[in-house]
Structure 1
Amino acid sequence: MSPHALSFDRHRHARDVPPVLDRYRPLRLLAVVVVSVAAGAAALVTLVGVRADVGPVEARLSLGLSFEGGTAVDVPPVGRLTMGTHAGPLQLRADVRNVDVEAVTAMIRRGRPLPTVETMSADVRSGVLGLAGRSVLVVLPAAALVSALVFRDRRAVLLGTGAAAGALVLSAGVAAATFSSEALEEPQYEGLLAQAPALVGGVRGAATAVDAYSARLAELTGNVAQLYGALGSLPDVPGPDTTAVLWVSDVHNNPAAYGVMRELIDQFGIQAVVDTGDSTDLGSAAENVVLDRIEDLGVPYLWVRGNHDSATTQNYLSGLSNVTVLDGGDVVEVAGVRWAGVGDPRYTPVKRVAEPSEVGRLELRAAGRRLATALDQQGRRPHVVLVHERPMAEPLFGQVPLVLDGHVHERRERRVDGTLELTLGSSGGAGLRTFDGGDGALPLAMSILHLDPSDGSLVAVDEVTLAGIGRDAVTFQRRSASSLAPEPE
């Protein structure tokens, strides 16, 4: 071999990556990307945050990582509000740090309004833009620094910084592409029941334009300010533009349920209560003492018989001053809304929750057909129909806009032939029977229906869920009528 060939061979091997290392090059590149993106994510979560003064409220805006994405507003010690505004992995978080209580209290006492939504929206937009700029200034240097420390290679630093920048741009792009202003109208609240209406706000308060994001956060900020400034007194919500009706079902002798009803009536300006049955367990006269609490609610109470309620139960309730029993097809108008209903044809007090047999379904459908026939004969259509079991609703599909029922102790929904059917869980947590080892403890489930007073149509539903026996912790989910059980194609 010539000296020139030997010299060339040595030069070539000095420049090239050895074959054994070249085999692991893809893994090294992957390691650089993973380490740099992880470093950038850690810096984003721990170091990025801006102070935003929104009117009288001082908040800290930050970004977190969440598969669900969306927006979360923490208001200690009241609770937390979340909205599914966009897909993950980025979640915008707003933590209320301080409220100028003295200034807000002075405004309320003197009848002065808080700063306008437009003004506070500008504050929120400024804070969000500042948060985006700071994210870039923190994430990219963090990724570069960690890549340099771990791999000690200039090319690794460049690759890692680029990967972090790409991940940041991609995450922001996903948030922008999946943004839904309609989600601003459907907040979910977790916290103290007494403060829920103040934070959630009005049913029709959210805008639908692109600027709705900052406007909604500004509106929530105003609600927080009023909540703190009024020192416990709640602002008027959800407003005079809808009729609020409380819907309960399957109380099953739980006296605590009526206490929760009373709180919701007071706080949300409830104009009526509708009950889709199973107020008792056995339908005995001895259980009527629990039903006396209905008169104390102080609002009209519409009721249909469930399969655990007897004729004795129905006769007793019909004698209470504020109760209207719906059975037989008569259409009544309460709170400006037309209602109709029919009682459960089956009386099975010892039966646990179960889907009815085919014979039972035929009996239930027959009751629904009798109601549909009675409504046809009257020629006066109700806005809402109450039944107890789901098969009873089927003959009414295409005939009425909304049917409410219960029985199965869980929330369900479906839309058939233009009729929306909603099923409620147990408003009594399945009642006192949960202590005998039967159904097990269930959350207390109630719903607030917001109806348009002009035509009785459903505008929104507030799904209220209280965990077990306690009444302090509550999950409060608002859903617009359009998002409930879309019509199948």
Structure 2
Amino acid sequence: MDGRHDDEQTAKGRPDSAVRRALRTSRTALRSTASRRIGVGLAVLAVSLVGIVVGMLLGGRVQTDVGPFQAEMAITPSATGETRVNIPPLGALQLDSHDGPTRLTVQLGSLDQRRTEALIDDPASLNRASQSAVKDVTSGVIRVGMRTIAATVLCTLILAALVFRNMRRVAWSGVLALALTGGSLGIAGLTLRPESIEEPRYEGLLVNAPAIVGDARRIANDYSKYAEQLQRLVGNVSQLYTTVSALPVYEPAPGTTRVLHVSDMHLNPTGWQLIRTVVEQFNIDVVVDTGDITDWGSEPEASFVGSIGVLKKPYVFIRGNHDSPATAAAVARQPNAIVLNNSTTTVAGLTIAGIGDPRFTPDKATSPAGSGLSKETADALIGTGDKLAATVKASPTPVNIALVHDPASAGPLSGTCPLVLAGHTHKRETRTLPEVPGQPPTQLMIQGSTGGAGLRGLEGEKPTPLTMTVLYFDQQKLLQAYDDIQVGGTGESQVSLERHVIREPAGVNPSAPVTPTPTR
């Protein structure tokens, strides 16, 4: 009985065992399918994310023009959003412009010289440029956004095809990339904060550049007035040549050599417009630049010197304390430029010697010669003058003009040549160096700033004027007269020329007045 009972129980239990086994198999199969689907999903997600990152890095950028700037816009992954504006070599601005996992980076490149000069030449175009700048940026952002979406989807599709070799999974990867990229850009657009441009965070040298950072709104407003004023003022310079012919104190004789002395341009493009006008109107033979053509001496600033070639006149240059060896090399590449560094050259019959400033201190404010200088710096400047004096004395041809950047280097040149030209102080001054017994006197002429000291000229209540000097040499290469030209800065609508006679030419009444004659 017991044995039969056990057989019955076993027989009855078999169907239950089969069901349990079937259920276990089904659950295992379901778990396996779910795991496989999750795995595939995660793989699709991973491939999509990698494709998005690669696509952004490779294709999420466009070149565009923003006013006179050539700029590059790029979208990159980021946990905090924001916009970064890189302004080489000064640093960068960080703007809390939006949220989301994407960052917009704007890399400002070089200024287009032609467009910059056009803005200065025509106030109407300046106004149009300021109005179109927003359109330029908006158009650039839209273009970079569309390009980023296309690049991320394309890269994801290619990567998915290589990984999965399954059309369905490739398609899902592309759709996911489109959704993630589009959603990220959508979040950025929905959380856009235009007012963030009023509260940027500064990085790099911008932190220490008060001309740009200290009172940015006031300076920007002043620069608008400045550009409008200068457009009219530069036009007035063309009338100076007519005014000069009415001055009775000195008339350049045939064979006169005309030299234009400029200095301390400090990246102001308006200075080039003024130089070109004077070169043409005064029939200049040689342009002499006593340094500080740039502000920071960086590679991006090298494009600024490209206007030298447009002058089509010999351009003799020495390095200032704001100019780097790279700056000097950029000047030397211009077809009409001559860079002097304890050397001499002869142009238009004039023998010119020059030496660069011994310092490279682009982060230092300009100070009058001899003030606030350490003994080490003063000794270096005097030593520079000693080196050039030795070069002048050793020159087989008598030197007519010596060039130094800082007037503190001029002392040792006394008695070695008739004329020393300098800059650096941003204040025009003429004086005779202490005489050396038995040697003829040497005159020192310090130029102001042909660039109005750049942006720093807008900081003070009274702007720094743009200045330059035309020097007249007779056939014996002796200085006969010079014209000081000055163009007023922001808020000043005045162009003036003052003529100074050094030596009365033959046939001129010695009693004739030689008072500097101002013109409008």
TM-score normalised by structure 1 residue count: 0.51
Residue in 2 aligned with 1:148?
Answer: none
Other structure's SS at 1:302 match:
strand
Going from structure 1 to structure 2, the CA distance change for 1:202 and 1:271 (only over 3 Å counts) comes to: farther
Give, in whole Å, the separation in 2 of the partners of 1:202 and 1:412: 25
Q: Using the alignment, how far apart are the partners of 1:430 and 1:420 within structure 2?
A: 24
Partner residue in 1 for 2:351: 338
Which of the residues 477, 480, 483 maps onto 1:456? 477
Find the counterpart in structure 1 of residue 325 from structure 2: 311
1:379 Cα deviation from its structure 2 partner = 3.6
The question of whether the paired residues in 2 share the 8 Å contact of 1:191 and 1:474 is answered with: no
Secondary structure of the equivalent of 2:380? helix
Residues 1:433 and 1:399: Cα distance change in structure 2 (over 3 Å): same
Residue 92 of structure 2 corresponds to none
In structure 2, what is the Cα distance between the partners aligned to 1:346 and 1:275? 17
**Deviation per CA, 1:250-307, whole angstroms, max 9, x where unpaired?**
0000000000011001111111100000000000011111111111111110000000
* Structure-1 separation of matches of 2:237 and 2:491: 11
Find out whether 1:199 has 2:243 as its counterpart: yes
Map 1:133-172; keep pairs closer than 5 Å. none
The residue number in structure 1 matching 2:266 is 252
Tell me how far 1:371 sits from its aligned partner: 1.1
Give the Å deviation of 1:202. Answer: 7.5
Aligned mates of 1:320, 1:438 — CA distance in 2 = 34
Partner-residue secondary structure (3-state), 2:239: helix
Q: Distance in 2 between matches of 1:410 and 1:200?
A: 23
1:419 match: 442
Instruction: Tell me: CA distance 1:409–1:451, structure 2 relative to 1, closer, same or farther (3 Å).
Output: same
Partner of 1:428: 451
Q: Which letter does structure 2 place at the counterpart of 1:402?
A: L
Shift of 1:375: 2.4
Any conservation in 2 of the 1:383–1:400 contact (CA below 8 Å)? yes
Paired amino acid for 2:444: E
The 5 Å alignment of 1:162-241 reads: 192-201=236-245, 206=249, 238=252, 240-241=254-255
Structure 2 residue matching 1:447: 3-state secondary structure: strand
**1:432: Cα distance to partner?**
2.2
**Residues 199, 434 of structure 1: CA spacing in aligned structure 2 closer, same or farther, 3 A cutoff?**
closer
Report the AA paired with residue 397 of structure 1. S
- Residues 1:382 and 1:316: Cα distance change in structure 2 (over 3 Å): same
Partner residue in 1 for 2:46? none
**Compared with structure 1, are the counterparts of its residues 250 and 446 closer, same or farther at alpha carbon in structure 2 (3 Å cutoff)?**
same
Q: Distance in 1 between matches of 2:353 and 2:461?
A: 31
The answer to whether the 8 A contact 2:249-2:501 is kept is: no
AA partner of residue 276 (structure 2): R
Contact 2:351–2:397 under 8 Å retained in 1 = no
- Structure 2 distance, partners of 1:438, 1:281, is 18
Moved over 3 A (4+): 437-440, 469-473
CA contact (8 A) 1:253 1:281 kept: yes
Answer yes or no: is the 8 Å Cα contact 2:484–2:499 preserved in 1: yes
Is the 2:289–2:316 Cα contact (8 Å) retained in structure 1?
Answer: yes
State whether structure 2 residue 366 is matched by structure 1 residue 353: yes
- C-alpha separation between the residues in 1 aligned to 2:318 and 2:491? 27
Based on CA coordinates, which of the two structures has the bigger radius of gyration?
2
- In structure 2, give the amino acid aligned to 1:433: R
Match of 1:443 among 437, 460, 465: 465
TM-score w.r.t. the length of structure 2 is 0.48
- In 1, Cα distance between the equivalents of 2:390 and 2:466? 35
CA RMSD of aligned residues (A): 2.5
Q: Percent identity between the aligned chains?
A: 38
Task: State the SS of the aligned residue for 1:442.
Answer: coil
Contact in 2 for aligned 1:247/1:275 (Cα 8 Å): yes
| 1:38-59 deviation line (CA, Å, top 9, x unaligned) | xxxxxxxxxxxxxxxxxxxxxx
1:468 partnered with 2:489: yes
3-state DSSP class of the match of 1:339? strand
- Which blocks of at least 5 consecutive residues in structure 1 are unaligned? 1-189, 208-236, 485-489
In the TM superposition, what is the alpha-carbon distance from 1:481 to its structure 2 partner? Answer: 1.5
Distance 1:377 1:462 in 2: 31
- Paired residue for 2:299? 285
Match of 1:8 in 2: none
Q: Indicate the SS of the match to 2:463.
A: coil
Paired with 2:423 and 2:375, the residues of 1 have a C-alpha distance of 19
Does the CA contact (< 8 Å) of 1:444 and 1:468 recur in 2?
yes
CA distance in 1 between partners of 2:355 and 2:494 (Å): 34
Amino acid of the structure 2 residue aligned with 1:295: G
Q: How many residues align?
A: 262
Instruction: Summarize deviations over 1:231-264 as a string: whole Å, max 9, x none.
Output: xxxxxx8553421111100000000000001100
Contact 1:191 1:475 in 2 (8 A): no
Return the letter of the residue paired with 1:474.
V
Which letter does structure 2 place at the counterpart of 1:279? I
In the alignment, what sits opposite 2:417?
A: 400
Query: Could you tell me how far apart the structure 1 residues matched to 2:409 and 2:485 are?
Result: 25
Pair 1:275-2:298 in alignment: no
**Residue identity in the other structure for 2:258:** A
Alpha carbons of structure 1 residues 342 and 239: separation in structure 2 relative to 1, 3 Å: same
Q: Is the 8 A contact 2:392 2:416 kept in 1?
A: no
Classify the secondary structure of the residue corresponding to 2:238.
helix
8 Å CA contact 1:278–1:407 kept in 2: the answer is yes
Q: Distance in 1 between matches of 2:295 and 2:392?
A: 30
376 and 241 in structure 1: CA distance in 2 versus 1, 3 angstrom threshold: closer
The CA distance in 1 between the partners of 2:276 and 2:335, in whole Å, is 17
C-alpha change, 1:456 and 1:200, in structure 2 (3 Å) is same
- The 5-angstrom pairing of residues 363-382 of structure 1 reads 363-382=380-399
Q: Kindly provide the CA deviation profile for residues 376-396 of structure 1, in whole angstroms up to 9, marking residues without a partner as x.
A: 233432100111001111110
2:252 touches 2:472 (CA, 8 Å); kept in 1?
Answer: no
Structure 1 partner of 2:162: none
Corresponding residue SS for 2:410:
helix
Q: Using a 3 Å threshold, how does the CA distance of structure 1 residues 468 and 393 change in structure 2: closer, same or farther?
A: same
Q: Which runs of 5+ in 2 are unaligned?
A: 1-233, 436-440, 504-513, 516-520
Q: CA offsets per residue over residues 327-356 of structure 1, 9 Å max, x none?
A: 122x21111111110000011101101133
SS of match in other structure, 1:192 = helix
Whether the aligned pair in 1 keeps the contact of 2:393 and 2:416 (CA below 8 Å) is no
